[in-house]
Structure 1
Amino acid sequence: MRVLFSAAALVAATAAPAQTQLAPDPAPTPTVTPAATAPAYSATRILIASDSTAMTYGADRYPQLGWGQMLSCALQPGTEVINRAIGGRSTRSFIAEGRWDKLLAESRPGDTVLIQFGHNDASSNRPERYAPAATLYRDNLLRMIWEAKGRGLTPVLVTPPARRSFQNGKAKADFAAYSGVMRDLVATTGVPVLDLEGRSLALLDATGETAARKYYLHLTAADKAPGFPNGIDDDTHFSELGARALADIVAAELKGAKLPISDRVLADRPDLARKTPLGAGRCR
């Protein structure tokens, strides 16, 4: 039998089949990765950025010691002092040589950083060191403060220690402009300052100009000191007794600062109050 198709039916028969509408795949469930959290460190470490007055010296330089070398004698067991102080450095050269960046790289959140400069910043005859107090020195300290805070550290300024420098029978501050900048920064940054300068000046006044020689490097060839076979007269750098006395001042100031690290400072510090040296920078 012959079947006739209408034109409309023919068109419908030859048309492309309608596209099947498929339901979209369900959105994949996102994988939630817990946020990485920094390790929780306790305040048990002190880093020091400074110059020769705080530096750690070997036995071959005895009796020369820095206050940073003796600071651990004022701290509870388990408290670590990482002393990166080095002779001849100012804020300018400490930063320029990459020493500040290296200190930051080895730091960890919760650390305290003691920052003490001024002696070498004042060396106007040494352009690689010189940092005028009101300008470059101030800017360098601000950089150190904010970069330390940015890493979760606690920066603490330490005014430069006094030299055995007397005028009319009174100990005088040779770096007053630099310590003044530090004190001014307390108000603008909220960073604490340890007044090593003021307290060491008081120590010199109480001791007297002549007797204060014991705190500094005054030796003769007869003393047969390992690092000074020909003797030395130095009113800037410290003997063992001087380093102990200055470390005790820093410890007392740090104890009173009411910082997290303050709880690690011993209230009684007999190892620093000794009247006779022990040799080679030992605590006891």
Structure 2
Amino acid sequence: MKAAAALALALVMGAAPAALADPNRIVIASDSTAADYSARSFPQMGWGMVLKCSLTPDAQIVNLARGGRSTKTFQEEGLWSVLMAQLKPDDTVLIQFGHNDADTKKIVRFTDPNGAYADNLRRFVADVRTAGAKPVLITPIAKLVFKDGQIQDTHGPYSATVRRVAAETKTPLIDLDKESQAALQKMGEAEGAKRFMIYSAADKIASHPEGINDTTHPNELGARMAAGIVAKGLKGAKVPASKLVLRGEADASARGEPTCAAHP
């Protein structure tokens, strides 16, 4: 009733009403590892597509993750401004970058992990808080890189910076890098490969008939693994969306058409 009265008063006074708080909204700012994909790209999926599998039905996910973006290009291309323009008080904002910030081949994406990368993360946190929303920092999902039977840390300085900025700014942290490394190490390289876009021509994948050997991007099972880790961390983050988490792990059933995704 109070919200309705405030809206009515604002309309009578001719002022634009402030955005009403909605603790059920989760906004994702990230790269291709969290992004939405169409059915034509299946089995490639981002964890943002299946996060809702671990959430209550009233959860609303606004997935603004975009492939190829770093903290630098996400701002330069106006994507951060788009996010801020639609942010509401009590939104939970999940922020995960790093894969493309480390890209020294496409130098436009690159940020120094101890320089611009850290500064951009601090800006994201500050902006979200200024809007009355709640930021959560997330380290990037691990790559499938093994050596002598051991999973390799491929995001070292970037994940370290996320942890440091989270501590400095007292922002909840979901250590997806650490947790996904641990999960992949436990299952081993061969089983871990079933979670990434690694297929031969014999697999007859429509999106990649010639096969693909991509150790960075998750397929459906990998997206579900990552989403489960994010959901578990979100539950303990003490933010508005924490109450939306049903369980710690998303459904990681056998491969097939996704039953709980943005684009089935």
TM, length-normalised to structure 1: 0.83
Determine if contact 2:23/2:92 at 8 Å carries over to the other structure.
Answer: yes
2:245 to 265, 270, 279: 265
Tell me the residue number matched to 1:21: none
Deviation at 1:194, TM superposition (A): 0.4
- For residues 219 and 259 of structure 2, the distance between their equivalents in structure 1, rounded to whole angstroms, comes to 10
Aligned residues: CA RMSD: 1.8
Tell me the residue number matched to 1:278: 256
Deviation at 1:124, TM superposition (A): 1.5
TM, length-normalised to structure 2: 0.89
- 57-66 or 215-224, which moves further after superposition? 215-224
- For residues 16 and 28 of structure 2, the distance between their equivalents in structure 1, rounded to whole angstroms, comes to 29
Tell me the residue number matched to 1:218: 198
Tell me the residue number matched to 1:69: 49
Deviation at 1:38, TM superposition (A): 4.1
Give per-residue Cα distances to partners, 1:6-34, cap 9 Å, x unaligned.
Answer: xxxxxxxxxxxxxxxxxxxxxxxxxxx8x
Tell me the residue number matched to 1:156: 136
Pair member with larger Rg: 1
Identical-residue share of aligned pairs (%): 43
Q: Which has the higher helix share?
A: 2
Deviation at 1:40, TM superposition (A): 4.5
- For residues 166 and 224 of structure 1, the distance between their equivalents in structure 2, rounded to whole angstroms, comes to 26
Tell me the residue number matched to 1:86: 66
Deviation at 1:268, TM superposition (A): 6.1
Tell me the residue number matched to 1:247: 227
Tell me the residue number matched to 1:112: 92
Give per-residue Cα distances to partners, 1:227-246, cap 9 Å, x unaligned.
Answer: 11111111100111111111
Deviation at 1:188, TM superposition (A): 1.7
Q: Does 1:45 align with 2:8?
A: no
Determine if contact 2:70/2:99 at 8 Å carries over to the other structure.
Answer: yes
Structure 2: runs of 5 or more not aligned: 1-12
- For residues 69 and 43 of structure 2, the distance between their equivalents in structure 1, rounded to whole angstroms, comes to 21
Deviation at 1:218, TM superposition (A): 1.3
AA partner of residue 121 (structure 2): L
Deviation at 1:281, TM superposition (A): 5.9
Determine if contact 1:240/1:281 at 8 Å carries over to the other structure.
Answer: no
For the residue of structure 2 that corresponds to 1:144, the secondary structure is: helix
Structure 2 CA distance for partners of 1:248 and 1:177, relative to 1, 3 Å:
same
Tell me the residue number matched to 2:104: 124
AA partner of residue 84 (structure 2): L
Aligned residues: 249
Structure 1: runs of 5 or more not aligned: 1-32
1:22-37 to 2 correspondences below 5 Å: none
Tell me the residue number matched to 1:17: none
For the residue of structure 1 that corresponds to 2:243, the secondary structure is: helix
Determine if contact 1:70/1:281 at 8 Å carries over to the other structure.
Answer: no
Give per-residue Cα distances to partners, 1:188-215, cap 9 Å, x unaligned.
Answer: 2111110100100000111001111100
Give per-residue Cα distances to partners, 1:139-159, cap 9 Å, x unaligned.
Answer: 111111111111111111000
Give per-residue Cα distances to partners, 1:140-179, cap 9 Å, x unaligned.
Answer: 1111111111111111100011000112311122111011
For the residue of structure 2 that corresponds to 1:164, the secondary structure is: coil
